[in-house]
Amino acid sequence: MAVSIGTGTKLGQYEVQDFIGQGAMGVVYRAYHAQLARTGAVKVMQAITPDEDSIARFRHEAQAIAQMRHPNILNVFDFGEYQGTPYMIVEYVPGGSLANRLSGPQLDQVAALKYLRGIASGLDHAHGLGIVHRDVKPANVLLEKDDTPVIADFGLAKLLQGSSLKSMTGVTTGTPAYMAPEQVTGSHAGPPADRYSLATIAYEMLTGVIPFDGEGLMEVLYAQVHRDPLPPSARNSALNPQVDAVIMRGLAKDPAARWETSTAFVDALADALAGKPAPAAAKTVVMASPIASTVPLAGPIAAGAAVAVAPPVARAEAVNRGATVAMAYPAPAAQPVADKRSHKRLFAIIAVVAIVLLLISSVVLIAALRTPTLSLSSSTVVAGDPVVVSATNVPADQNGEIELRSTLHIFSFHADSNGRVSVPIVVPRTIGAGDHTVTICWASRCRNSVTLHVIESGVALASPTSGTTPGVTPSASPTPNTTPGASPAPTGGTSRSPQPSPISTPKSTPPPPPLSSPTPNPCPTSSQSALLAVSPATIVAGVTVVTVSGQNFTPYKQGVVYYYFPNTATTPTKTWSVTVGCNGTFSVSFTPAALNIGTARVTAGDAGGRSASKNFSIT
């Protein structure tokens, strides 16, 4: 039940004045400290369940956040609980948010860099104290009267992530448009996640749109993990390739590949916008030669005097020669030694190159051996026919999916202990004639594919040309008006004895055997209604493998299973094609995405007209 705080309520030394607004975390009130003559904002955390564990965690996080003192971080004045619900009293910033500013005309580059520098400074300060924001976005950046950016809601996403959540619309542990890939997948989110969000804000400031614009929630979450956005210059042609490089590094999928600090990112972006060379290139220009650094160790101390009296040019030449530095002039007898050393060095280089090539070849060979093979029992089938998909070199006991495209149909598989897979699938009758791709996928990656050629039902596959009917001897048709078996009358000359006619009597073709009667179905359809079961009872998003089982469906019929999240969605999140067994059952397995927290729905139907649906909860 939501806590209502009326005007005049005392929260510590602050008196609540009026209601400001409501967000995913809870409600916000304006409050006033009379003795300090200071206005603050009260955030009542209704999204946090007021149990003992959650309150303890809230106090711990609030204490850490309150220790931060930085001009670009919102100050926390006080915290506590009101009627069991935790609250924070923070600095009141009346200038609105960066989100409001970005909703107007596009910022110029000077203003964008000013905001980014302030946000970067605040983030680096917090990261130095071991505190990660986890929900950096324009709405969480408030603006002072002089336009100084102030980061709000530090650590609140972590409070929500680790505690029980009330059922409130909009409660998440990050905002999808600005969320780092590791947050989407539920992996560890450290300072690089905040820097990814900062790079997203920079992209939006310079182009006017977020990296994955105009897409639905699930598409954005998928894109954050699996797709690269268009480079900023594709959205704003005034930006140069250096800007693309800086921002795309900030949006790298691998946290280790991003900028080391937020300030380093903004400095590099400022240089790129000004057309200066990239910092990495500048560093490589001034690198010293490795040979020069080893020269002082090459010659004995006695040779130092000879080098000291040599002219500058001679000294430079001696340095370049390396091993001859210790000698004022190379004696003829010493030349063969130098040659031997050169030969030894050459042999050593050749040996090193050979070893490197051998290692590269080994890596390539191992990779090739680990690449799964994929084959079909038949590469050409009629729509509605079965085909067996086989694979080898799959990790032992690996769960995955066989995908049939162009219209996506998914079939689950489990590899045996030797990494072999054999999955019988039924090609959907509605898939359409033509070439379709069969792909094997696991661990969020598709590893290999083959082409399946499908022809329409009713079109016969190629067969041998029909020949002469067996058992019938071909013969000429008998001449009209001629009695079979009699010789024609002679026209002249000596009469001959009648001879039997060589014409054989045609044999009639035997009638085709009658069509056999259809075999009675040994697996009759159950008289009970079709139903779906979901297990286990407790499902954790991003962790639990969910099994959907169907019962009392039409035996041997092709069916389709759909997974919807949330349960009110009209477009399925996942789709599987199944073949109902003799006993009217089937099953599919999957793991819900890390952010699929709430009520989900599965539905299934088969070609016999049976269908069922079931809602279930994900925590």
Q: Is 135 a catalytic residue?
A: yes
Instruction: Please name every residue paired with 400 in a beta bridge, in sequence order, or none if there are none.
Output: 413
Band of residue 477 on the pLDDT scale cut at 50, 70, 90: very low
Catalytic pick among 135, 153, 194, 606: 135
List pLDDT tens digits, range 72-127: 998 888 888 888 788 888 888 888 899 999 988 989 999 999 999 999 999 999 99
The phi and psi torsions of 249 (rounded to 5 degrees) equal: -65, -40
List pLDDT tens digits, range 309-367: 334 333 333 333 333 333 333 444 444 444 555 567 777 788 888 887 877 766 656 55
Question: How far, in Å, CA of 201 to CA of 120, rounded?
Answer: 11
Q: Which residue has the higher pLDDT, 381 or 384?
A: 381
What is the residue type of 166? K
Burial class (CB in 10 A: 0-12, 13-18, 19+), 91: middle
* Domains annotated on the chain, with CATH: 10-91 (3.30.200.20), 98-283 (1.10.510.10), 291-328 (no CATH), 373-454 (2.60.40.1930), 531-618 (2.60.40.230)
pLDDT of residue 517: 53
| Long-range CB contacts (within 8 A, 24+) of 291-298 | 291/320, 291/322, 292/319, 294/322, 295/319, 295/322, 295/325, 298/322, 298/323, 298/325, 298/326
pLDDT of residue 347: 76
Q: Which residue has the higher pLDDT, 361 or 6?
A: 6
Burial class (CB in 10 A: 0-12, 13-18, 19+), 361: exposed
Q: Read off the pTM.
A: 0.47
Burial class (CB in 10 A: 0-12, 13-18, 19+), 362: exposed
Band of residue 198 on the pLDDT scale cut at 50, 70, 90: very high
The residues near 294 (Cβ < 8 Å, ≥ 6 apart) are 322
pLDDT of residue 49: 61
Pair type for strands 380-382 and 386-392: unpaired
Question: In the structure encoding, which two tokens stand for residue 120, read together?
Answer: 């970067």
Question: How far, in Å, CA of 92 to CA of 21, rounded?
Answer: 13
pLDDT of residue 32: 92
Question: In the structure encoding, which two tokens stand for residue 352, read together?
Answer: 């090193």
List pLDDT tens digits, range 568-601: 887 788 888 788 888 899 999 888 887 888 999 9
Tell me the three-class secondary structure of 116-167, residue by residue: HHHHHHHHHHHHHCCCCCCCCCHHHEEECCCCCEEECCCCHHHHHHCCCECC
Band of residue 142 on the pLDDT scale cut at 50, 70, 90: very high
List pLDDT tens digits, range 177-191: 999 999 888 888 899
Q: Which residue has the higher pLDDT, 147 or 471?
A: 147
Question: How far, in Å, CA of 462 to CA of 137, rounded?
Answer: 62
The residues near 295 (Cβ < 8 Å, ≥ 6 apart) are 319, 322, 325
Please provide the average confidence, as pLDDT, over all residues in the chain.
76
List pLDDT tens digits, range 529-539: 999 999 998 89
Mean pLDDT of 459-468: 46
Question: How many other CB atoms sit within 10 Å of the CB of residue 463?
Answer: 6
